[in-house]
Structure 1
Amino acid sequence: MEHQKQKKSFGQWIKTSLTIRMLMMGFLILILLIPLAYIKDLIQERAYRQEEVVKEINQKWGNQVLLYGPILKVPYLTHHISKVWNEKLKTYETKDDITQHNAYFFPDQLDIDATIESETLGRSIYESVVYTSDIQLKGTFKAPDFKTNDIKEEDILWNKATIILNSTNLKGIKSNLNLQIGNNTYPLRSKFKKNAYMYTLETKFLNETDLPNSEKNTSFSLGIKINGSEELSFIPIGSETNVSMSSNWASPSFNGEYLPNPKTKEISKDGFKASWKILETNREFEQDFFGELPHISSSAFGVKLLIPVDEYQKSERAAKYGYLVISLTFLIFFLIQSISNITIHPFQYLMIGLALSMFYTLLISISEHSSFLQAYVIAGAAVVLLIAIYSKTILKSTKFMLFIAVSLIALYTFIFVIIQLESYALLVGSIGLFLILGTIMMVSRRIEWNKEA
């Protein structure tokens, strides 16, 4: 009889012990991290799928555009003199090995005016921002200086001089490229380069009358109409480079090595305008190169057209707070249970945790067909309503049900605010968590932790 009483007392202790309840809650939270991990994987999978679709759209329309030019290309000869033994004559002969190289000269003045007409293209539930840009390039070349490299005038092949233009996107070009230089027009044609990042367009040989010389600079102009996606960038190869851009896209991100002049930058709901002025002294490379053109794409600058809302990124940030939402919700139920002596079964905690996890799957699926705000409100309302109704059955109290509903609404609102913020996310999050911790500490004072069951 006494054994049965001790057995019953032990069973009752297991059922009512605060320590056992807390251990059980901790174990359930660990278990619920598994579906949260699967939800994060699902978000990443959907985001990856979006990237693949956007990449496919961009490839068909036209990829990112980086323009590098125009550049004056002038071939020249170098001589390697050596002594060669002539066995028949039994004497040394002088041998002149002649090699042809290219010299590249950047413009003295380069002015670029780009008008960007943007639009969004969609496939299924995914969208990509694309654009058509009308670009006008104007400027001047001054006389090339070969003396710095000790190249004689007779070794310069002026009759084989050309103009080249490099671009990362030939597919998107939608107009014939006719370079006006001097008194003549020269069409630009593609030159095949295997596995090239930058593609080259080159004119035929220039007339010597169109070449710059010591008496005069040579003016040039070129119009380009090109389809691209996401980014439009230039490399400032002029001794003075002036760039102006205007677009109907209202969410630009100015990137690269140089930012636009703050006084000229205008962004509104109707689009943006910006301009740059970059001098030779602002760059890390010189105005002419002998032998090969350098890789200077790291000096590029321009604009990136952003899609304002990245639903998957926000969903992923929301999912990172999943463990916090589950832990705090369990803690609320634990405090109610401990203060009011209501028994909540571990299975009921598990159902509440799974309902909280469902919030994120609802958020992802709904946000793919509407805005993030609408998806967040719908998913949050559904989960709060479900848990509130379920808690009414568990706790047998309308007062507790309303308290839980209000707590969940406040918690989801707090997380939504953190997700929207960028610069102040850490500050607001820290203050919010501090207030939550203080509230829990005040409420938990009513619990008799040392009470014997």
Structure 2
Amino acid sequence: MEQSNTPQPNRQPQTNKFFYWLKNSITARMLMVGFLIIVLLIPLSYINSLINERALRQADVVKEINEKWGNNVVVYGPILKLPYKTYSETKTYNEKTKTYFKETETHINYAYIFPESLHTDANVDSKPLKRGNFESAVFTTVMDFSGEFIPANLDAKGIKTEDIIWDKASIIIKTSNLKGIRSEMVLKMNAEEYSFQSNYNNNSNSHNRLDILESSFIKAEDLSDDHNDTFNIQIVFNGTEQIDLIPIGKTTTMKMISNWADPSFIGNYLPNDETKEISKDGFKADWKVLHINRAFSQQHLNNIPDLREFAFGTKFMVMVDEYQKSERSAKYGFLVIALTFLIFFLIQTMSKIQIHPFQYLMIGLALTMFYTLLVSISEHSNFLNAYLVAGIAVVALITLYSRSILKSNKFSVLIGTSLTALYAFIYVIIQLENYALLVGSIGLFIILAIVMFVSRKIDWSND
């Protein structure tokens, strides 16, 4: 049988056509770049988890520092504690005499009287305390309390003056930081001095409990019924993070001076704007709270109400710490990778230079390495130095790598300049607080405008 010598048509396999389309199609390159961006979200998520883990570790260390140095300071007092008598009557029936026998029983209760005026001078010496790579804001404060009590009149509460046990009266101060007290406390009332001792608070399961300090019994003659009784108390605290005062005076004023440059005024009442001063060397602030500004009275029977919701004071902030800044930087990781890939995509499309998907992947991994470098270096230096070192390392690496794959100094300089500008833009956003959203939106709008301008001449029809 003769074999036919007729040439067969040369049919290109379908797989070759598919790979040709992947290699030369703009759409295919766009899909590939998009897929790689999604894949790179996986290491970015692990980096975010790493940052959160290190931040939790920092919180544990800060908590340990605070427990050893002293907790946040809350002062609730001084409060005049007045014991008084109440009476109850019981009737007992006598079977023999067929009569009722009346018996009167005496009970001891307490009235708690807030001062007519309360003035506090707080001089706060603050500093950052470090443990390894972590730090917390700690302080030593000297707090001078002065004011006066008016003669106690409990007639409106149904208590007669003769039922008050004047020689068993005392002064109470409640605080959150009993172990942080660093000096003996002495109450000076009129001309006499009285010492304090701690009074066990059985509410030990409460995380935010206030411990009680109670003075020795006040002499009855010091609780005059014809003029106001003045007092002075000084307390020295070691504390952390914040100081709060509950405004129990009918008129409450506080003056605070500190060397801490980043205060945050917290609570129900803000300091007077006219006298407030904040500088790099510290701050001064004055508060004034009147009885009409808060919803509680000056006299309470049987128990001291929890009035911490009315507290005001200052938080000594460690301004956006390194982990918070690193976390905010990592949130822009998707944007950095997407814009960098977009630059390479535009260069590849406009210059017809082939860039392999593996090369895109290497560039993406280099970009994610920026955040691990940032976190690790910031634990041993400040955030600016860590950002500069990590940024310079990654920009240099990608610039040199792009020089080898694009074979062009012009394109590699363009990429290096673009990355430098992008990292500088993100650093500015991180440092801003009130204007971060505004500046970020304007920056993204400008980037979009540049991309639209550069890509306007691309012929999308030959795909």
| Residue in structure 1 matching 2:214, options 197, 202, 215 | 202
1:126 corresponding residue in structure 2: 134
2:23 corresponding residue in structure 1: 15
5 Å-filtered alignment, 1:275-354, equals 275-354=286-365
2:275 corresponding residue in structure 1: 264
* Cα distance, 1:451 vs structure 2: 0.6
Contact 2:168 2:218 in 1 (8 A): yes
Contact 1:363 1:375 in 2 (8 A): yes
Superposed CA deviations along residues 343-396 of structure 1, whole A, max 9, x for unmatched, are 111111111110000011111111122221121111111111111111111111
- Residue 77, structure 1, aligned to residue 85, structure 2: yes
Cα distance in structure 1, aligned partners of 2:288 and 2:19:
80
Superposed CA deviations along residues 104-124 of structure 1, whole A, max 9, x for unmatched, are 001111111111112222211
Contact 2:122 2:141 in 1 (8 A): yes
Instruction: Name which of structure 1's ranges 319-328 and 240-249 shifts more when overlaid on structure 2.
Output: 240-249
SS of residue paired to 1:302: strand
Instruction: Name which of structure 1's ranges 313-322 and 443-452 shifts more when overlaid on structure 2.
Output: 443-452
Q: What letter is aligned with 1:360?
A: Y
Cα distance in structure 2, aligned partners of 1:10 and 1:207:
100
* Cα distance, 1:138 vs structure 2: 1.0
- Residue 62, structure 1, aligned to residue 84, structure 2: no
* Cα distance, 1:87 vs structure 2: 4.2
* Cα distance, 1:95 vs structure 2: 4.6
* Cα distance, 1:5 vs structure 2: 5.5
Q: What letter is aligned with 1:267?
A: I
2:199 corresponding residue in structure 1: 191
Cα distance in structure 2, aligned partners of 1:101 and 1:432:
68
Superposed CA deviations along residues 274-297 of structure 1, whole A, max 9, x for unmatched, are 111111111121111111101001
- Residue 422, structure 1, aligned to residue 430, structure 2: no
Contact 2:245 2:311 in 1 (8 A): yes
| Residue in structure 2 matching 1:226, options 237, 240, 243 | 237
Superposed CA deviations along residues 315-334 of structure 1, whole A, max 9, x for unmatched, are 11110010011111111111
2:263 corresponding residue in structure 1: 252
| Residue in structure 2 matching 1:274, options 273, 285, 292 | 285
Q: What letter is aligned with 1:237?
A: I
Cα distance in structure 2, aligned partners of 1:109 and 1:365:
53
2:112 corresponding residue in structure 1: 104
Instruction: Name which of structure 1's ranges 154-163 and 66-75 shifts more when overlaid on structure 2.
Output: 154-163
- Residue 410, structure 1, aligned to residue 410, structure 2: no
Cα distance in structure 2, aligned partners of 1:41 and 1:439:
34
Contact 2:153 2:161 in 1 (8 A): no
1:373 corresponding residue in structure 2: 384
| Residue in structure 1 matching 2:393, options 358, 382, 397 | 382
Q: What letter is aligned with 1:162?
A: S
Cα distance in structure 2, aligned partners of 1:6 and 1:180:
99
1:241 corresponding residue in structure 2: 252
Q: What letter is aligned with 1:254?
A: F
| Residue in structure 1 matching 2:125, options 111, 117, 120 | 117
- Give the total of aligned pairs: 451
- Residue 173, structure 1, aligned to residue 173, structure 2: no
Change (3 A) 1:158 1:259: same
- Residue 394, structure 1, aligned to residue 405, structure 2: yes
* Cα distance, 1:255 vs structure 2: 1.2
Instruction: Name which of structure 1's ranges 144-153 and 286-295 shifts more when overlaid on structure 2.
Output: 144-153
Q: What letter is aligned with 1:296?
A: L
1:36 corresponding residue in structure 2: 44
* Cα distance, 1:31 vs structure 2: 1.0
SS of residue paired to 1:143: coil
SS of residue paired to 1:445: helix
Instruction: Name which of structure 1's ranges 86-95 and 202-211 shifts more when overlaid on structure 2.
Output: 86-95
SS of residue paired to 2:248: coil
Change (3 A) 1:140 1:444: same
Q: What letter is aligned with 1:440?
A: V
Cα distance in structure 1, aligned partners of 2:118 and 2:319:
32
Contact 1:141 1:212 in 2 (8 A): no
Q: TM-score, normalised by structure 2?
A: 0.94
Change (3 A) 1:2 1:183: same
- Residue 158, structure 1, aligned to residue 166, structure 2: yes
Change (3 A) 1:395 1:262: same
SS of residue paired to 2:232: strand
Cα distance in structure 1, aligned partners of 2:321 and 2:195:
42
Superposed CA deviations along residues 201-231 of structure 1, whole A, max 9, x for unmatched, are 1112211101131x11111111111211111
After TM superposition, the runs of 4+ consecutive aligned structure 1 residues lying more than 4 A away are: 82-88
* Cα distance, 1:80 vs structure 2: 3.5
Cα distance in structure 2, aligned partners of 1:42 and 1:26:
25
2:454 corresponding residue in structure 1: 443
SS of residue paired to 1:293: coil
2:224 corresponding residue in structure 1: 212
Superposed CA deviations along residues 30-57 of structure 1, whole A, max 9, x for unmatched, are 1111111111111111111111111111
SS of residue paired to 2:81: strand
Q: What letter is aligned with 1:449?
A: W
Change (3 A) 1:77 1:383: same
SS of residue paired to 1:112: strand
Runs of 5+ consecutive residues of structure 2 not aligned to the other structure: 1-8
- Residue 434, structure 1, aligned to residue 457, structure 2: no
* Cα distance, 1:88 vs structure 2: 4.3
SS of residue paired to 1:259: coil
Change (3 A) 1:320 1:81: same
Q: TM-score, normalised by structure 1?
A: 0.96
Contact 1:182 1:209 in 2 (8 A): no
Q: Percent identity?
A: 55
